[in-house]
Amino acid sequence: MPKIWTDTIALHRRDMRAAILDATAALIAEQGLGATTMLAIAERAGIGRATLYKYFRELDAVLVALHERDVASHLAELEAARERQGTRWQRLERVLETYARLAHAEHGSELVARMRHTEAVARGFIQLNSLLQALLVDAIEEGLVREDIPPPELAAFCIGALSDAHTLPSQAALRRRVQLTLAALRTSG
Amino acid sequence: MPKIWTDTIALHRRDMRAAILDATAALIAEQGLGATTMLAIAERAGIGRATLYKYFRELDAVLVALHERDVASHLAELEAARERQGTRWQRLERVLETYARLAHAEHGSELVARMRHTEAVARGFIQLNSLLQALLVDAIEEGLVREDIPPPELAAFCIGALSDAHTLPSQAALRRRVQLTLAALRTSG
């Protein structure tokens, strides 16, 4: 097949995959995980069941793919927060605020609860830890962050300190929690 | 029945219950949760199965009771850490260190993993939060802890910041984590 054809096919497959995941996300949001079946997904995406099964062999594969897409999108958002203008301290603050907000927004998500112990989540945390570590190392070099604790431990502390962000009652409480977390990192004296 | 008799019976029942839970804990430690059956517990405790079933109607009831006993014993240990001599700051430090050590020791506990979402755990966290709040309020009054954040949020932060203590690689890392957590609480400037 000419290259232009294979490209078109690859593009079509990617779009179809995305449409299936969009349909699944909409179904979960509107009717809950319990009502999300392969049949309901196919109907929602406007495709036949046989076509759906060509893309995903079972419901769990759709859910894992959807969740992996969410994790990737969260990491992209965190990286964008890191890249925006500002001092190193402001960038650290922005990344922690973004992470707290994402964790807060996930509150009560059935999909997140079901996927808690998956590999995608474990990989996501490793990437988040690396992202934070890189920021922290820079901030330590500038004398903004304490140097008496290894950066991997500082990064793990930040993630732990925000791990229950979904239980906080308001955006104000969320901001206070981020400020508390940052206060621990600050060079003392 | 004379009172001395009912007292004796109550005492006997309490001792028997304790012996059953001790036997269960020993079994889990030695052979894992999978090998812990009602029959194995009865044999280990040196009683008949019929007697065991008079105390606990099913395996899950034994496990819940054992876990509740563990939670109560942890809370007692935390209260003892709070009551010991020292400044308010030292007492706060001691309670956080005790909590981090207990969380660390639970690492890989099959029983804890299985009981994670039980009421006993939820109640335990509420009691831990109250215990910390009382200490924090005293420390705020003495000007040792920041007053710009409500004590319930400070207490929740401490618990969150130590929530992954079981993943920390060493006692030294555990102590550093407690120091980081305390640093966030300290009155700034």
In whole angstroms, give the CA distance from residue A25 to residue B73: 44
CA end-to-end span of chain B, whole Å? 68
For residues B89-117, give the mean pLDDT: 85
Q: How many CB pairs under 8 A join A and B?
A: 69
CB A183 within 8 A of CB B188: yes
For residues B99-127, give the mean pLDDT: 82
Q: List chain B residues with CB under 8 Å of A163.
A: 160, 163-164
Nearest CA-CA distance, residue B177 and chain A, Å: 7
Q: Among candidates A33, A23, A24, A22, which has minimal Cα distance to A108?
A: A33
Q: Which residue numbers of B have CB closer than 8 Å to A's CBs?
A: 146, 148-149, 153-154, 156-157, 159-164, 167-168, 173, 176-177, 179-181, 183-186, 188
Q: How confident is the model at residue B85 (pLDDT cuts 50, 70, 90)?
A: confident
Question: CB count, 10 Å around CB of A12?
Answer: 10
Q: List chain B residues with CB under 8 Å of A146.
A: 183
Contact B163 A162 (CB under 8 A): no
Q: How confident is the model at residue A28 (pLDDT cuts 50, 70, 90)?
A: very high
pLDDT at B107: 65
Give the three-class secondary structure for A169. coil
Give the three-class secondary structure for B5. helix
pLDDT at residue A130 is higher than 70: yes
Per-position b or e across A76-94, b if 16+ CB within 10 A of its CB: eebeebbeeeeebbebbbb
Contact B157 A167 (CB under 8 A): no
Higher pLDDT, A107 or B47: B47
Architecture of the domain delimited by B59-189: Orthogonal Bundle (1.10)
Of A146, A161, A179, the CB nearest to B161: A161
Domains B1-57 and B59-189 share a fold: no
Q: Domain segments of chain A: what residues?
A: 1-57, 67-189
Question: CB count, 10 Å around CB of B20?
Answer: 22
- Over chain A, what is the mean pLDDT? 90
Residue carrying the six token digits 């009981």 = B115
Nearest CA-CA distance, residue A38 and chain B, Å: 30
Nearest CA-CA distance, residue A52 and chain B, Å: 35
pLDDT at A108: 66
pLDDT at B1: 63
- What residues pair up with B186 in beta bridges, in sequence order? B145
Question: CB count, 10 Å around CB of A9?
Answer: 11
Q: What percent of chain B has pLDDT over 90?
A: 63
Q: How confident is the model at residue B110 (pLDDT cuts 50, 70, 90)?
A: confident
pLDDT single digits (tens) B52-71: 999 999 999 999 999 999 88
- Give the chain B residue nearest A170 (alpha carbons): B153
The two structure tokens encoding residue A25 = 């996300």
Contact B183 A181 (CB under 8 A): no
Q: How confident is the model at residue B84 (pLDDT cuts 50, 70, 90)?
A: confident
Q: Of the spans A28-32, A150-154, B168-172, which averages the highest pLDDT?
A: A150-154
Rounded (5°) CA angle A149-A154-A160: 140
Compute the Cα dihedral for A164, B175, A179, A150 and give only its sign.
negative
Is 1.10.10.2160 the CATH classification of the domain at A67-189? no
Of A149, A168, A180, the CB nearest to B184: A180
Q: List chain B residues with CB under 8 Å of A164.
A: 156, 159-160, 163
In whole angstroms, give the CA distance from residue A174 to residue B8: 55
Of A146, A148, A161, the CB nearest to B157: A161
Q: So what CATH class is A1-57?
A: mainly alpha
Please give the helix or strand (H or E) that residue A121 lies within, else none: helix A119-141
pLDDT at A99: 92
pLDDT single digits (tens) A92-119: 999 999 999 988 887 667 888 788 777 8
Of A160, A176, A177, the CB nearest to B163: A160
pLDDT single digits (tens) B135-164: 999 999 999 999 999 999 999 999 999 988
